[in-house]
Amino acid sequence: MSNETQKEVELVSAEHPLIPVLALRGLVVFPGMSLQFDVARPKSILALKNSMDQEQKIFLVAQKDLTVNDPGKDDLYSIGVIAKVRQVIRRSDEGIRVIVEGISRGKIISMPEGNTEYLSAEVAILPTKVTKKVTPRQEAQMRYVRTQFEEYIRNYTQISPDLVIGVLEKKNCGDLADYIAANINFDYEQKQQLLEELSPFSRLQKLSRILKDEIRVLTLENKIQEKAKEQIDENQRDYYLREQMRAIADELGEDDTPAEEADQMRKRIQEAGMPKEQQEKLLKECDRMAKMPEGSHEASVILSYLDTCLSLPWNSSSKEHIDLSKAKKIMDRDHYGLTKVKERILESLAVKKLNPKMQGQIICLVGPPGVGKTSIAHSIAEAIGRKYIRVSLGGVRDESDIMGHRKTYIGSMPGRIINAIRQAGVNNPLLLLDEIDKLGNDFRGDPSSALLEVLDPDQNSTFYDHYIDLPFDLSHVLFLTTANDASAIPAPLYDRMDVITLGSYTHQEKFHIAGKHLIPKQLKKNGINSDQLKISASAIHAIIDGYTREAGVRGLERMISEICRKSAIKIVKNSKIVIHVTPKNLEEFLGPKKFREENQNKKDQVGLVNGLAWTTVGGEMLPIEVAVMDGSGKIELTGSLGDVMKESAKTAISCIRTRAKSLGIRTDFYSKYDIHIHAPEGAIPKDGPSAGAAMATAITSALTSIPIRHDVAMTGEITLLGRILPIGGLKEKTMAAYRAGIKTVLIPSENVPDLEEVDTEVKKSVQFLPVEEIDQVLNVALTKKPVPLQ
C-alpha cells in the first residue's frame, strides 16, 4: 500500500486491529441496512462470539463461489460492510440466528495466514463521497430511479408498497442507491458491484441500468403467467366437459375404469417374467393408476408407459448358432473382398463360441460410401442367427433421440435404442448404428455423449432410457457401427470401438462384384431373365472405366440399373428378343462416356504435375498447374486452396529459392517473375500439406521449362530444407493413382511401412519409389536434369 493510500485509511479499531469476518453465501449487506439470517458454519459461529468482545463489530463480506465451505482470503471479495451485531438468537438445531445492522463500507487490508479458528482481518473504513448540495443532474437521476422503483414494485408483488415512503425520504444519491439495492431481489454479484462503487452518483447510475433490465424481465414473466392462467382456465373447462362425457359413457357401460385397466396390467406384469426390481416399480405404477378418477389424463399416460415397458423383450432371446464355416460362406456369398473385415468378424465369433459370456469390443467399419459397410452387418446377422436392426444416426442432434424423453412430457417416447430393441422383439439382436460420424450437437444436447454408455460393454448392462426409467440389459446386443470419416467421431466414442478401415475397390474387384452381385440383383429387380439380357465382360470393364469414378460400387449399380430399364422397354415390345450389351453399343444405353481414360491423349507438359489427395469418399488425383510470367514477384494461388495448402505453396517457393543455382534457375526469379499456382476443379475446397512436393516440382518445371513425366504421381509434405515428410491416407491415394493408370508413385520414405495395407493388385501395377528429399523427386519426375548455373 502506498503512503498516500495509507494516510486515507482509517482502521475500524486501533485497539483491536483484527476484526472478526463473517463470510456470506449469496448475500450482500449495505450500510444502514438491518438484516437477519442464520449462521451454521463453526468458523462463522466463532467469529460472532468474538465480535461480542469487540464492541459487537463484525465485517460482513460475500464469498465469490457459493460452493466453497471453508473460504479463505482468495475466496472472498475484498470490499464488504462493517456491521454491528444487534441480537443473537440460539436455535434448537445448533444453529444461530443473528440480526445485524450495516454501518459503513470497509475493505480488507490483510488477513492472517494459516489455519485459524475463525476468519479475521485488518479492515479499513472506506469513506463515501458526500455532496453538500444536490446538483440538478443528480436530482434528475434520483427522480428517474424513484420512478423505476415504483414500476418495479408494480410488477414484483412480493415487495411492500410501503417501501416507496422510505425511498422518498432519501435525499442523496448514495443513500437512495443503497436503500433500493438492499430492498429488491436480484443477483448477489450485481449487488456486490453496487457495494464496491464508492461514487454515489455512479452507484445510482449502475442501479438504474440494473432496474431497467429487471423491469423488462418481470414484464415478460407477467405476460407468461397471464397466458398460463388462461390455459389453465381453458383446461378446467375441458375437464368438466370430459367428466360429463365420461358419466354418460359410464351410464351406457361403454368405458373401462382405471381400476379395471390396472388389474389387467398387473396380470400382464406378473406374467412377463421381468426382473424383480423392474416388476415392483411397474406394480407400484399400477397401484397409482387404480386410485385415479375415471378419465384422468395422468391415468392414460401411465397406461401408455406400462404398455411400452411390457412390450420390451425382458427375457426373450433368439437362439444363436455360431458356425464359423457357415458364417464365412455367407459373408463370401454376399460380399466380394473385405478380407480384413471378415477375418475380424470370424475372430469375434470364435471367441464368443469359446466363452459365451464374453462381451466383445464394439466394431466400427470406416470407409468411403458404397463399399458394403451397411450390408455386411445384415450378412453377419444371418450367419449367426440373430435378428438384424438398423438405426440411422445421420443428422441426430437431440440426445433425447438416443436416451428418450421423460414420460411426464406430452408426446414423450423411448429413444432410438430402446425402440430398436422393441422392434427386434428379442434382447440379443445385431444392432447396426449407421453413420455414427454424422452425429451433431447443439443446445438440445450432445447425442455422441449419450452413446458412451450404450457402446461400453461394462456399463450397458444397466442402460437407463429416460422414458422407461428402468435398467435394461444391453450387454447381449451385438453392436456394429459405420462411418465415412473416422476423424469426425468424438474421441471418447472412438476409444470405445475397434475401428476397421475399408479401402476403395480396385477395378478388378468392381468387375467381380458387378458379375456376381450387382447384375443378378438388378435383373431380378427389373423382372428380366438372364437369357434375355447379357452384359459382356468387356462391357463391364468399359462401364467401370468410362462411366464411374468412385471408391465404392453404387454408381456402377446405377449404370447397370439404367441398362436394365432401357432393355425392359425393348423386351416389353418384343418378348423373344435377346439383348447383348457390348462396348460397341454401350452408348445406346448410357450415352456418351462421362470419363475418358486418364492416360489417353496425355503428354509430358511443363508446369503440370500429378498430385494425390485423400477425401472422405476415397483417394483422388490432384493435378496442379504452375505458370511463370514476367512481373514483379507476385504469387497467385487459386483453386479453393485452404490456409495450410497456401502455406505449403509458399514453403515450396522458398525451398526452390535456396537451391536455384543448382537447378539452373535465376537467383532473382522471385522478383522478376509472377508465379501463378492453380489446382483445377476450383469449386472443390482443397487443403492439407501433402501436395508440397508436387507444387515444388511444378514450380521447378515452370522456371526451367523442363516437362514433367505424365505417368508419375507424387505425395509428400515439403520443408524449407527440401525434406519430404510423411503423409496420411496412403492406401486411398495409391488407389487413385492406380485408377488413373499412373505407373510410378513417389512416396515419403517414412510411409514405406504403410505399403503393407495397399492392395496387392495396386502394388503389381504401380511402382513405388520412396524419397527423402526434393532432389530425388525432381530426378525422377522431370524428363531431364536441370543444368546448374555457372
* Ramachandran class of 681: left when φ > 0, alpha when ψ lies in -120 to 50, beta otherwise: left
Name the pLDDT band for 184 (thresholds 50, 70, 90): confident
Q: Average pLDDT for residues 196-221, to the nearest whole number?
A: 84
Distance from C-alpha of 365 to C-alpha of 484, rounded to nearest angstrom: 8
Lowest mean pLDDT: which of 79-83, 209-213, 232-236? 232-236
pLDDT digits (tens, 9 = 90+) for 745-757: 999 999 999 888 8
Contact 559, 548 (CB under 8 A): yes
Q: What torsion do the CA atoms of 512, 514, 517, 519 make, to the nearest 10 degrees?
A: -140
The active-site residue, picked from 318, 690, 701, 731, is 690
Kindly tell me if the per-residue pLDDT of 75 is higher than 50: yes
Q: Are 561 and 605 in contact (CB under 8 A)?
A: no
Domain residue spans of the chain: 3-125, 258-310, 324-501, 507-590, 608-781
Listing DSSP states for 104-140 in one string gives EEEEEEE---S--SS-EEEEEE-PPP--SS--HHHHH
What does the alpha-carbon distance between residue 134 and residue 74 come to, in Å, rounded to a whole number? 39
What does the pLDDT read at residue 707?
92
The amino acid at residue 89 is: I
Q: How far apart are CA 282 and CA 471, in angstroms?
A: 12
DSSP 765: H
8 has a pLDDT exceeding 60:
no
Rounded Cα distance, 745 and 535, in Å? 34
**More confident of the two residues 734 and 598:** 734
Reported as a single tens digit per residue, the pLDDT across 352-365 is: 888 877 766 788 88
Tens of pLDDT, residues 326-360 = 888 888 888 887 787 888 888 888 888 888 777 66
In DSSP notation, 52-91 reads TTTTTEEEEEEBS-TT-SS--GGGB-SEEEEEEEEEEEE-
Task: Kindly provide the residue ranges of all beta strands, DSSP E only, lying in 639-743, ordered along the sequence.
Answer: 673-678, 712-714, 717-718, 724-725
* Residue 200 CB contacts under 8 Å (≥ 6 apart), including other chains: 128, 129, 130, 131, 172, 173, 174, 177
Please report which helix (H) or strand (E) contains residue 645, including its range: helix 643-658
Name the residue with cell 408494480: 154
Residue type, 408: T
Cell for 549?
A: 469414378
Query: Residue holding cell 443503497?
Result: 178
Query: DSSP string of 403-438?
Result: H---TTSTT----HHHHHHHHH-SSS-EEEEE-GGG
Whether 9 shows a pLDDT value over 70: the answer reads: no
Q: Is the pLDDT of residue 170 over 80?
A: no
Cell of 457: 460393454
Look at residue 742 and tell me whether its pLDDT is greater than 90: no
What pTM did the predictor assign? 0.58
Whole-number pLDDT of residue 132: 67
507-590 in CATH: which number?
1.10.8.60
Our CA angle for 473, 477, 483, nearest 5°, is 125
CA distance linking residue 290 with residue 267, whole number of Å: 13
CA distance 240 to 253: 20
More confident residue, 503 or 313: 313
Kindly tell me if the per-residue pLDDT of 531 is higher than 80. Answer: yes
Q: Three-class SS of residue 44?
A: helix
C-alpha cell at 729: 491416407
Give the span between the Cα atoms of 756 and 220, in whole angstroms. Answer: 67
pLDDT-based confidence at 1, cuts 50/70/90?
very low
CA–CA gap between residue 32 and residue 638 (Å, rounded): 71
Q: How far apart are CA 128 and CA 197, in angstroms?
A: 9
CA distance 559 to 581: 12
Torsion of CA 350, 355, 358, 364, to 10 degrees: 0
Q: Return the amino acid letter for 433.
A: L
The C-alpha cell 512436393 sits at 693
- The predicted model gives 397-409 an average pLDDT of 79
Euclidean distance between CA atoms 300 and 292, whole angstroms: 10
The pLDDT tens digits for 624-676 are 999 999 888 888 999 888 888 889 999 999 999 998 888 888 888 888 889 99
Say if residues 405 and 466 touch (Cβ distance below 8 Å). yes
Alpha-carbon distance 351 to 357, whole Å? 10
Compute the half-sphere exposure of residue 587: CA atoms within 13 Å on the CB side of its CA: 5
pLDDT at 91: 73
Question: Distance between terminal CA atoms of the chain?
Answer: 73
Angle between helices 373-384 and 339-354 (to 10 degrees): 30
Which DSSP string corresponds to 521-565?
Answer: HHHHHTT--TTTEEE-HHHHHHHHHHH---SSSHHHHHHHHHHHH
Cα 481 from chain centre: 17
- How many helices (H) and strands (E) would you count in the chain? 28, 25
163-177 residues labelled b (16+ CB within 10 A) or e (exposed):
beeebeebebbbbbb
Q: Would you state the pLDDT for residue 768?
A: 92
Q: Using one digit for the tens of pLDDT, what is the confidence trace for 436-473?
A: 888 876 666 677 787 888 888 778 788 888 888 888 88
Report the pLDDT value the prediction gives residue 651, as an integer from 0 to 100.
93
- What's the pLDDT band for 698 if we cut at 50, 70, 90? very high
- Domain 3-125 top-level CATH class: mainly beta
Instruction: Domain 608-781: give its CATH architecture.
Output: 2-Layer Sandwich (3.30)
The CATH number of domain 324-501 is 3.40.50.300: yes
Our answer to whether residue 733 is catalytic in this structure is: yes
Run of H or E including 747 = strand 744-748
Question: Which uninterrupted H or E stretch holds 682?
Answer: none
Question: CA 256 to CA 260: how far, in whole Å?
Answer: 6
User: Is the pLDDT confidence value at 257 over 80?
Assistant: no
Buried b or exposed e, range 285-307, using 16+ CB within 10 angstroms: bbeebbebebbbeebebbbebbe
Helix (H) or strand (E) holding 621: strand 618-630
The rounded mean pLDDT for the chain is 82
**pLDDT in the model for residue 253:** 58
Rounded to whole angstroms, the Cα distance separating 191 from 197 reads 10
Mean local confidence (pLDDT), 493-503 = 84
- Over the stretch 101-136, which tens digit does the pLDDT of each residue have? 888 888 888 888 766 788 888 888 887 766 667 788
Q: Which of 222, 480, 204 is nearest to 366 (CA)?
A: 480
In degrees, rounded to 5, the angle at the alpha carbon of residue 384 between the alpha carbons of residues 378 and 385 is: 80
- Which of 107, 342, 686, 733 is an active site residue? 733
CA 22/CA 61 separation, integer angstroms: 6
The beta strands (E) that lie in 286-421 are given as 362-366, 388-392
Cα gap 498→461, rounded to integer Å? 20
Q: Are strands 388-392 and 430-434 parallel, antiparallel or unpaired?
A: parallel
Distances from the Cα of 682 to the Cαs of 80, 93, 362, 692, in angstroms?
64, 76, 40, 18
Residue 147 CB contacts under 8 Å (≥ 6 apart), including other chains: none
